[in-house]
Amino acid sequence: MRLSIIIPAYNEARTVEAVVRRVLRQPVAGVEAREVIVVDDGSTDTTVRILSALALEFPREVVLLTHPVNRGKGAAVRSAVAKLTGDVAIIQDADLEYDPSEYALMLEPIIAGRADVVFGSRFSGQQAKRVLYFWHYVGNCFLTMLSNMLTNINLTDMETGFKAFRADVLKGVPLRCERFGFEPEITAKVARRGCRIYEVGISYNGRTYAQGKKITWFDGLKAVGAILRYALGD
């Protein structure tokens, strides 16, 4: 099994090198080969310089794609999907909130042939989760519930950044959303296609705004729009 790890990165100079090195070091049961596709999404900090050095250091594993201007997470993931050569793909955010040591957990249902898509849930399972913002939690529950109502699936964490796919499934879903509407869009589209979706509990090392958290209530509002648009057939 060949694994493609997709890392969208926008102004993540603080963490992106640690993420890439951790991903490269991480053995994963059932995976013999891997590629790490990092997408610099028009960062204005030193992210692209850090990633260029890593691509030089690990020319066989690290593929660097760059967007000249910032376009958003959805666009960054799409650029990576167009280039990936693995049998399975996993999306790894560049900010260390999700732990590469849990790849085996995420991929097991796919490698065993039971699942097409696996969501890593921050709201179920026994793993340690950092206790953080109550109103973000309420917002996440609301977005997941709205998405579930319209797609008729029972996820506990639609907005999770930790998602794994059979590569042919990911390549077969036409994606349009440029920014964070990516999560509702992919969820609605895999649900509508009747993909076998699994969920596993993951740990969550959430960051604070002082540590670089960027998401705001406005992104939550836009997520509502994306849920309605994609669940209703766009």
Ligand X SMILES: Nc1nc2c(ncn2[C@@H]2O[C@H](COP(=O)(O)OP(=O)(O)OP(=O)(O)O)[C@@H](O)[C@H]2O)c(=O)[nH]1
On the 0-12 / 13-18 / 19+ scale of CB atoms within 10 A, 96 is buried
Task: Report the nearest approach of ligand X to the CB of residue 96 (Å).
Answer: 9
Closest by CA position to 107, among listed 95, 98, 115, 96 = 115
Contact 83, 63 (CB under 8 A): yes
Candidates 3, 5, 6, 10; binder of ligand X (CB under 6 A) is 10
**Does 182 participate in binding ligand X (rule CB under 6 A)?**
no
Using the minimum distance from each CB to ligand X, give the nearer residue, 204 or 230: 204
Task: Report the nearest approach of Mg ion to the CB of residue 45 (Å).
Answer: 16
**Does 76 participate in binding ligand X (rule CB under 6 A)?**
yes
**Does 50 participate in binding ligand X (rule CB under 6 A)?**
no
**Does 99 participate in binding Mg ion (rule CB under 5 A)?**
no
Candidates 9, 84, 89, 118; binder of ligand X (CB under 6 A) is 9
- Residue 154's CB: how many other CB atoms inside 10 A? 9
Candidates 95, 108, 116, 185; binder of Mg ion (CB under 5 A) is 95
Per-residue CA distances from 137 to 85, 94, 121, 140, 164 (Å): 35, 21, 13, 5, 22
**Does 36 participate in binding ligand X (rule CB under 6 A)?**
no
Q: Which helix (H) or strand (E) holds 53?
A: helix 47-57
Using the minimum distance from each CB to ligand X, give the nearer residue, 112 or 137: 137
**Does 214 participate in binding ligand X (rule CB under 6 A)?**
yes
Closest by CA position to 115, among listed 30, 2, 197 = 197
DSSP state of 109: H
Contact 38, 50 (CB under 8 A): no
Candidates 4, 13, 34, 41; binder of ligand X (CB under 6 A) is 41
Candidates 12, 35, 40, 97; binder of Mg ion (CB under 5 A) is 97
Size of the site for Mg ion (CB under 5 A): 3
**Does 226 participate in binding ligand X (rule CB under 6 A)?**
no
> Cα 83 from chain centroid?
16
Interface residues with ligand X (CB under 6 A) are 8-10, 12, 41, 70, 72-73, 76, 93-95, 97, 161, 207, 213-215
